[in-house]
């Protein structure tokens, strides 16, 4: 068994895999990560490895504090990937985006792929059918947009995300919801339309915490999979083990 860990900007996502089967998933706050991982390791005693990516606060040395940790692998920019990195600044490419690209190649071979990750930021990553990572885009996520409207204005309230009742908001709250949610949808559909002008055939994978929230509001046919990063981490670990 493999325990995969995605240490993000605001929280930790952990999942247990038996080969390609996801057995268990948990979202963990940073304040309780050690106890939570200890409990997972006790519950799944057959875990032999832990595969970690971190864009947040966890480092390899942190795992030395665990009482019964199996072998820990930190995947980083030096990890072997199944694609050619065409990014002009490869050292600045986040490991989370690299793992998403890796998963797209391993899970969807011989095609063009666009991965859209809806987390703290919305990232777009394009990998062509020659397994060349070409790059993409980074934009503020849904929560960041709500917070920006509140923090950089004098009177706009901070709202929780909500599907707008109408495109034309008839109150300040509904106008904010319409601007944020519809704006994100138009942005995503616009990116997809722009890519389709150059690449006639490609699959679209929508993932991240807000993937299911928005999937039905988008015009384009997509694979909505909120667990895609963890699945990609599992596949990338296997890829390196089999090398």
Strands 113-118 and 121-127: antiparallel
Residues 157 and 63 occupy one common structural domain: no
Q: By residue range, what is the domain housing residue 40?
A: 2-74
Residues 228 and 131 occupy one common structural domain: yes
Helix (H) or strand (E) holding 49: strand 49-54
Does a structural domain hold residue 240? no
Residues 43 and 129 occupy one common structural domain: no
Cβ burial, residue 32 (10 Å; 0-12/13-18/19+): exposed
Residues 13 and 109 occupy one common structural domain: no
| Tally of helices (H runs) and strands (E runs) in the chain | 7, 11
Residues 24 and 125 occupy one common structural domain: no
**Of 51, 74, 97, which closes a domain?**
74
Res 165: pLDDT: 87
Determine which of 31-40, 92-101, 207-216, 231-240 has the lowest per-residue pLDDT on average: 207-216
Does a structural domain hold residue 243? no
Verify whether residue 76 is a known catalytic residue. Answer: no
Residues 117 and 181 occupy one common structural domain: yes
Does a structural domain hold residue 239? no
Does a structural domain hold residue 24? yes
SS3 of residue 94 by DSSP: coil
Do 127 and 105 touch, CB atoms closer than 8 A?
A: yes
Residues 109 and 156 occupy one common structural domain: yes
Whichever domain contains 20, its CATH number is 3.30.420.40
- State pLDDT tens for residues 142-201: 999 999 999 999 999 999 999 998 899 999 999 999 999 999 999 999 999 999 999 988
Does a structural domain hold residue 94? yes
229 or 215, greater pLDDT: 229
Catalytic residue among 96, 117, 125, 210: 96
Residues 166 and 46 occupy one common structural domain: no
**Of 21, 46, 74, which closes a domain?**
74
Does a structural domain hold residue 197? yes
- 204 pLDDT exceeds 70? yes
Residues 189 and 96 occupy one common structural domain: yes
Helix axes 228-241, 95-107, angle to 10 degrees: 80
Does a structural domain hold residue 79? no
- State pLDDT tens for residues 46-90: 999 999 999 877 888 888 777 777 889 999 999 999 999 999 999
Residues 149 and 227 occupy one common structural domain: yes
Res 243: pLDDT: 66
Residues 139 and 222 occupy one common structural domain: yes
Percent over 70 (pLDDT), the chain? 99
């Amino acid at each position: 068994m493999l325990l995969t860990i995605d240490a993000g900007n605001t929280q930790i996502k952990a999942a247990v895999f038996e080969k390609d089967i996801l057995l268990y998933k948990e979202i963990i706050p940073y304040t309780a990560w050690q106890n939570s991982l200890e409990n997972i390791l006790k519950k799944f005693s057959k875990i032999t490895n832990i595969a970690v990516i971190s864009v947040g606060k966890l480092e390899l040395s942190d795992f030395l504090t665990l009482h019964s940790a199996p072998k820990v692998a930190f995947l980083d920019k030096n990890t072997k990937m199944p694609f050619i990195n065409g990014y002009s600044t490869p050292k600045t490419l986040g490991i989370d985006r690299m793992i998403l690209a890796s998963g797209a190649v391993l899970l969807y071979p011989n095609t063009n792929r666009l991965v859209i990750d809806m987390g703290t930021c919305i990232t777009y990553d394009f990998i062509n059918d020659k397994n060349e990572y070409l790059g993409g885009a980074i934009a503020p996520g849904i929560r960041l947009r709500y917070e920006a409207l509140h923090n950089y204005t004098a009177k706009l309230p901070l709202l929780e995300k909500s599907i707008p009742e109408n495109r034309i908001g008839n109150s300040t709250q509904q106008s904010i919801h319409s601007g944020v949610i519809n704006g994100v949808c138009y942005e995503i559909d616009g990116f997809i339309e722009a890519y389709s002008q150059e690449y006639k055939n490609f699959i679209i994978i929508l993932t991240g915490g807000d993937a299911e929230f928005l999937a039905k509001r988008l015009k384009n046919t997509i694979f909505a999979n909120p667990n895609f990063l963890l699945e990609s981490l599992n596949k990338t670990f296997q890829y390196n083990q089999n090398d």
